[in-house]
Each structure stands twice: as C-alpha cells, then as structure tokens.
Amino acid sequence: MLLVKLFRAGEWAAFGTEGLFAGSADDRRDGFIHLSTAAQLAGTRARHFAGETGLVAAWLDVGDDPSLRWEASRGGQVFPHLYRPLRLADVIRHEVLA
C-alpha cells in the first residue's frame, strides 16, 4: 500500500539535499512521521495545510517496516505513523500540489 507525506517546499528541498527527513515540527513534537492514505489525503491537507501552496505530496512504500504503526487519531480514524526518519529510497513518486 502506498502512503503519502505532505511536505512544505522548504522541507522537500532539505529532504532532497540531506536524503533523510526527521520530520516537520509537528512530527518531531509527536515523535513520529505523520502519514496518510490516499483516502485521508484531502482531509489532512484541509486540516493541517489549509491555504498553503507549493505543497509536495510524496508517495511512499514503506512495506512491512516494523516502524510503521496504524494508530487512532482524528475522529477515531486510524492513521499510519512512521517511527523512524524517512529515506529518499522510501519515495516512489512525488507531485507538487496546486
């Protein structure tokens, strides 16, 4: 299953340069990388990135990584949380969102 991480432009640029992403300020505060499924993407964008432009959606394949946990979050919905930094090798494709 492909999962998605939304990046702000500066985060995406730093990820490309460094090859690892330890998380946004919110990720670091919570202790994991916040991910979404394709079905959750619009809600995540509306709630946490409203009005922001130049976002990058990175589609990830983290497979059966034991660092991936599905946990209850917004409205009792289960979200994927990754308890390790993202690696560029996790990214299958990316797109800049309008």
Spatial contact of 58 and 16, defined as CB atoms under 8 Å apart: no
Structure tokens that stand for 31 in this block = 């202790």
Domain range annotation of the chain = 3-96
Q: Measured in whole angstroms, how far is the alpha carbon of residue 7 from the centre of its chain?
A: 7
pLDDT at 53 over 90: yes
% of the chain beyond a pLDDT of 70: 100
pLDDT at 83 over 80: yes
Phi and psi angles of residue 53, each rounded to the nearest 5 degrees, phi first: -115, 165
| CA proximity to 39, closest of 79, 9, 75 | 79
Q: Are strands 33-34 and 78-82 parallel, antiparallel or unpaired?
A: antiparallel
Using the structure block, give the residue that is written with the tokens 């979050």.
Answer: 73
How confident is the model at residue 98, as a pLDDT?
A: 79
pLDDT at 62 over 90: no
Topology adopted by domain 3-96: ADP-ribosylation fold (3.20.170)
Spatial contact of 87 and 39, defined as CB atoms under 8 Å apart: no
How confident is the model at residue 74, as a pLDDT?
A: 74
**How many of the other CB atoms lie within 10 Å of CB of 62?**
18
How confident is the model at residue 94, as a pLDDT?
A: 97
How confident is the model at residue 63, as a pLDDT?
A: 82
What is the overall mean pLDDT for the chain? Answer: 95
